[in-house]
């Protein structure tokens, strides 16, 4: 197996190679855009959220009744002439399947696509026993010829061009194959595979669902090869993870409404097969197919008991978490997974394929939440990835960046003193931005300090933080309509205090009293991203205590990432004693745009609408994390001329420490985003998150784009009617 995960430096090198693979870039880019549009289209006719909830509930039921359903499946399948086995490890599974082959005098084995077989390394194990194994799914056959693993769970050869395929077919057939003639290449595959189908003595298939009520197993394909594999040979072996068990056929019918829509944006695949029992087979003396179902545990019963990770059982292997992942889109499945790919691949690698591999791989998640937004089983994938990072830090120790960040942020006063010192120390290097009026940037940092961060200009720390300005700017209102508190986050407090000042100006104009508790500190998200759970819990407690006495109507934050952390993740990491207070705290958190639009109800009449063309970048934590979509766009259009941007909701590549750890990927995401921004012709770009401001402004500055980048609060404050 091709393994890019032996070392961190090796992994980065392979990422670089993937980023320079022009074919991969073009194919995955095209696929990402087309998939998103087709998926949206095909889900219009069903209740997507309702179906996902149903799948989650039904799969949860199956997990909770795993033993019972296994016994029921076994009884029902055995009644229908099927041998049912349960094995604990990949080695046991491989040995059992090899034994079944030997007992039935099999030499030639046919396979239809199975991720479980990939998980256990079935092909090499059978080949080591002297068996000839042929993959029959076209994509799987191609990667078998190349001795590679799949780069996608549904489209295993998506990373290959027709030229590479023609070369492989030339080698396989001994005849030159013309790469331009794709139809002919398909025909060549068909002829080759037909010969193998006829010669095959044992077929091995995967299984999407194993139905307890009638002992049936199912396959879903577009090529029909699984039907050939499961019907032609005299022996049929099904390999299935225990997580494939469901209670009823009705559960399958519910899942079928989502699985193909999510996998390939199809209403249904060309072939859906349910096999309940061993069918007829004239090649066997008793006229019956020899059929075995092998259930693999490989840690699944332990996962099923885990209060958090048991969600994994909801996965139906649709591959959508890769299809929408911006990192997969750039580097492909061989770098965004090990055997399983995409978000679920990062998680399963930890459980099935080694913690060292998972440690490297889990760093490469930017936390954009695109995956959880489409997951067929409603799995909170980014949370599980964060949890793995945290577990790995506990189990294997922290990396340098994490240790330094943890030490610095643990104590608010020390952290803030450090930031103030940095504001002083940076002075020889700072200057004004060329593109964004008045913005202070690190203009004279030698390349030595920037290294791979040179793709964007870095912001300067403000001379005077927001907390130091607060006593002078705090509005004094006689009869306020409500009382709110501001949560600043570190970036706005120390780098962009003008964004918070713009918010304060709007609130004062609308007679809203504002407090700013001085004991507040970092929200903890950067720590979470680095696996520093212990310190992130400490800072979460400090923040809750900081707002305790005020009891405001709302806690407003202008940082979408902080909002997600305070509103959702505090409840995850502070579950247990005191959780009632955490819940109350979370219920008061609101992002800036929602507060202005939904609570203050500002609309067009409240603004002097300018003719300025303004475009928007939807921060991941706002549009997906908080599901806030319409409010900022409506407000921009109230205050100026809103020009929509292509791929407005695709990540800008910031991701906090991600942009430091993976600058090669961060810079590509930024580049694409800025191209789309430029294409709008807008003179201004606004966002709801200071992290995105940092990334986008720094990139625009570096590229010399004439686009002013700032926070939406600044635009609204400028155009507010007084």
The residues that touch ligand SF4, with contacts defined as CB under 6 A, are: 262, 315-321, 324-327, 342-344, 365-371, 375-377, 379, 381-382
- Which tokens go with 308? 């958090």
Task: Report the nearest approach of ligand SF4 to the CB of residue 379 (Å).
Answer: 5
Backbone angles phi, psi at 31, to 5 degrees: -60, -45
Does residue 527 contact residue 539 with C-beta atoms inside 8 Å? yes
Backbone angles phi, psi at 494, to 5 degrees: -105, -20
E strand or H helix at 688, and its extent?
none
Task: Report the nearest approach of ligand SF4 to the CB of residue 73 (Å).
Answer: 21
Report which of 631, 615, 630 is spatially closest to residue 710, judged by C-alpha positions.
Answer: 615
Does residue 220 contact residue 260 with C-beta atoms inside 8 Å? yes
Does residue 653 contact residue 673 with C-beta atoms inside 8 Å? yes
Does residue 254 contact residue 50 with C-beta atoms inside 8 Å? no
The rounded distance, in Å, linking the Cα atoms of 29 and 66 is 40
Task: Report the nearest approach of ligand SF4 to the CB of residue 656 (Å).
Answer: 13
Task: Report the nearest approach of ligand SF4 to the CB of residue 381 (Å).
Answer: 6
Q: Toward ligand SF4, which CB reaches closer, 126 or 344?
A: 344
Q: Is the dihedral of CA 270, 273, 279, 284 positive or negative?
A: positive
E strand or H helix at 499, and its extent?
helix 497-509
Q: Toward ligand SF4, which CB reaches closer, 377 or 497?
A: 377
List % helix, strand, coil for the chain (3-state, nearest 5).
55, 15, 30
Task: Report the nearest approach of ligand SF4 to the CB of residue 256 (Å).
Answer: 13
Q: Toward ligand SF4, which CB reaches closer, 219 or 542?
A: 219
Residue pointed to by tokens 């699944």: 300
Q: Toward ligand SF4, which CB reaches closer, 325 or 596?
A: 325
Q: Toward ligand SF4, which CB reaches closer, 316 or 713?
A: 316
The rounded distance, in Å, linking the Cα atoms of 133 and 716 is 65
Task: Report the nearest approach of ligand SF4 to the CB of residue 29 (Å).
Answer: 15
Task: Report the nearest approach of ligand SF4 to the CB of residue 217 (Å).
Answer: 19
Backbone angles phi, psi at 247, to 5 degrees: -80, -45
Hey, is 28 helix, strand or coil? helix
What is the DSSP code (8-state) at residue 130?
T
3-state SS track over 273-306? EEECCCCECCCCCCCECEEEEEEECCCHHHHHHC
Q: Toward ligand SF4, which CB reaches closer, 324 or 674?
A: 324
Task: Report the nearest approach of ligand SF4 to the CB of residue 587 (Å).
Answer: 25
The partner residues of 432 in beta bridges, in order of sequence, read: 440
Q: Toward ligand SF4, which CB reaches closer, 376 or 457?
A: 376
Task: Report the nearest approach of ligand SF4 to the CB of residue 622 (Å).
Answer: 15
582: left (phi over 0), alpha (psi -120 to 50) or beta: alpha
Q: Toward ligand SF4, which CB reaches closer, 374 or 687?
A: 374
Helices (H), 232-299: 249-256, 259-264
Q: Beginning with the edge strand found earlier in the chain, give each strand of the sheet holding 271-275 in spatial order.
A: 245-246, 210-211, 216-221, 271-275
397: left (phi over 0), alpha (psi -120 to 50) or beta: left
Q: Vertex 669, ends 663 and 671: CA angle to 5°?
A: 95
Task: Report the nearest approach of ligand SF4 to the CB of residue 22 (Å).
Answer: 22
Report how far Cα 404 is from the mean position of its chain's Cα atoms.
27
Q: Toward ligand SF4, which CB reaches closer, 215 or 337?
A: 337
Q: Toward ligand SF4, which CB reaches closer, 125 or 324?
A: 324
Backbone angles phi, psi at 690, to 5 degrees: -65, -25
Q: Toward ligand SF4, which CB reaches closer, 196 or 317?
A: 317
Task: Report the nearest approach of ligand SF4 to the CB of residue 100 (Å).
Answer: 29
Q: Toward ligand SF4, which CB reaches closer, 341 or 527?
A: 341
Report which of 331, 364, 326 is spatially closest to residue 624, judged by C-alpha positions.
Answer: 326
Task: Report the nearest approach of ligand SF4 to the CB of residue 562 (Å).
Answer: 18
Q: Toward ligand SF4, which CB reaches closer, 160 or 620?
A: 620
The rounded distance, in Å, linking the Cα atoms of 516 and 521 is 11
Report which of 90, 79, 149, 58 is spatially closest to residue 295, judged by C-alpha positions.
Answer: 90
Task: Report the nearest approach of ligand SF4 to the CB of residue 367 (Å).
Answer: 5
Q: Toward ligand SF4, which CB reaches closer, 310 or 369?
A: 369
Task: Report the nearest approach of ligand SF4 to the CB of residue 662 (Å).
Answer: 10
């Amino acid at each position: 197996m091709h393994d890019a995960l032996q070392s961190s430096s090796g992994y980065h090198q392979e990422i670089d190679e993937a980023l320079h693979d022009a074919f991969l870039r073009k194919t995955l880019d095209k696929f990402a855009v087309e998939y998103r549009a087709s998926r949206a289209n095909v889900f219009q006719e069903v209740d997507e959220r309702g179906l996902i909830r149903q799948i989650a509930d039904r799969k949860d039921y199956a997990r909770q009744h795993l033993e019972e359903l296994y016994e029921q499946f076994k009884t029902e399948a055995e009644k229908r002439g099927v041998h049912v086995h349960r094995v604990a490890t990949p080695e046991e599974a491989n040995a059992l399947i090899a034994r079944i082959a030997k007992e039935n005098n099999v030499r030639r084995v046919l396979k239809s696509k199975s991720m479980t077989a990939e998980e256990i390394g079935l092909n090499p194990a059978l080949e080591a026993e002297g068996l000839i194994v042929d993959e029959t799914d076209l994509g799987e056959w191609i990667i078998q010829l190349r001795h590679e693993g799949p780069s996608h769970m549904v489209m295993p050869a998506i990373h290959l061009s027709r030229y590479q395929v023609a070369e492989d077919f030339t080698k396989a057939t001994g005849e030159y194959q013309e790469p331009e003639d794709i139809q002919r290449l398909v025909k060549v595959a068909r002829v080759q595979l037909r010969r193998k189908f006829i010669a095959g003595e044992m077929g091995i298939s995967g299984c999407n669902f194993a139905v307890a009520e009638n002992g049936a197993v199912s396959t879903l394909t577009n090529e029909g090869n699984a039907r050939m594999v499961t019907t032609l040979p005299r022996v049929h072996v099904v390999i299935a993870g225990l997580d494939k068990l469901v209670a009823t056929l009705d559960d399958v019918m519910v899942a079928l409404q989502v699985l193909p829509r999510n996998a390939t944006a199809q209403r249904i695949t060309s072939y859906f097969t349910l096999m309940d029992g061993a069918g007829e087979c004239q090649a066997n003396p008793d006229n019956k197919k020899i059929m075995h179902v092998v259930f693999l545990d490989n840690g699944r019963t332990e996962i099923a008991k885990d209060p958090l990770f048991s969600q994994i059982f909801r996965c139906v292997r649709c591959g959508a978490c890769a299809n929408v992942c911006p990192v997969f889109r750039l580097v492909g499945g061989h770098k965004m997974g090990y055997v399983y790919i995409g978000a679920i691949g990062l998680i399963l690698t930890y459980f099935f394929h080694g913690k060292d591999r998972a440690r490297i791989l889990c760093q490469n998640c930017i936390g954009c939440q695109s995956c959880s937004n489409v997951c067929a089983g409603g799995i909170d994938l980014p949370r599980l990835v964060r949890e793995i990072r945290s577990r790995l830090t506990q189990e294997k120790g922290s990396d340098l960046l994490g240790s330094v960040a943890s030490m610095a942020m643990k104590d608010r006063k020390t952290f803030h003193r450090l930031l103030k010192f940095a504001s002083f120390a940076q002075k020889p290097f700072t200057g004004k931005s060329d593109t964004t009026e008045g913005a202070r940037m690190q203009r004279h940092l030698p390349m030595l300090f920037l290294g791979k961060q040179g793709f964007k200009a870095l912001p300067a720390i403000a001379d005077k933080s927001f907390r130091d300005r607060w006593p002078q700017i705090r509005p004094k209102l006689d009869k306020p309509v409500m009382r709110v508190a501001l949560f600043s986050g570190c970036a706005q407090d120390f780098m962009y205090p003008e964004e918070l000042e713009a918010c304060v100006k709007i609130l004062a104009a609308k007679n809203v009293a504002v407090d700013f508790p001085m004991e507040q500190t970092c929200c903890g998200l950067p720590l979470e991203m680095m696996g520093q759970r212990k310190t992130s819990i400490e800072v979460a407690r400090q923040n809750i205590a900081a707002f305790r006495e005020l009891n405001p109507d709302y806690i407003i934050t202008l940082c979408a990432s902080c909002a997600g952390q305070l509103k959702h993740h505090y409840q995850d990491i502070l579950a247990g004693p005191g959780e009632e207070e955490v819940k109350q705290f979370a219920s008061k958190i609101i992002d800036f745009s929602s507060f202005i639009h939904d609570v203050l109800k500002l609309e067009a009449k409240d603004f002097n609408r300018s003719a300025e063309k303004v475009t928007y970048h939807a921060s991941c934590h706002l549009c997906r994390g908080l599901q806030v979509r319409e409010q900022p766009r409506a407000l921009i259009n109230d205050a100026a001329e809103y020009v929509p941007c292509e791929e407005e909701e695709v990540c800008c590549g910031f991701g906090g420490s991600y942009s430091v750890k993976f600058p090669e990927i961060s810079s590509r995401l930024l580049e694409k985003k800025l191209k789309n921004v430029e294409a709008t012709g807008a003179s201004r770009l606004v966002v709801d998150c200071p992290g995105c401001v940092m990334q986008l402004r720094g990139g625009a500055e570096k590229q010399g784009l004439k686009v002013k980048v700032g926070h939406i609060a600044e635009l609204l404050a400028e155009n507010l009617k007084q």
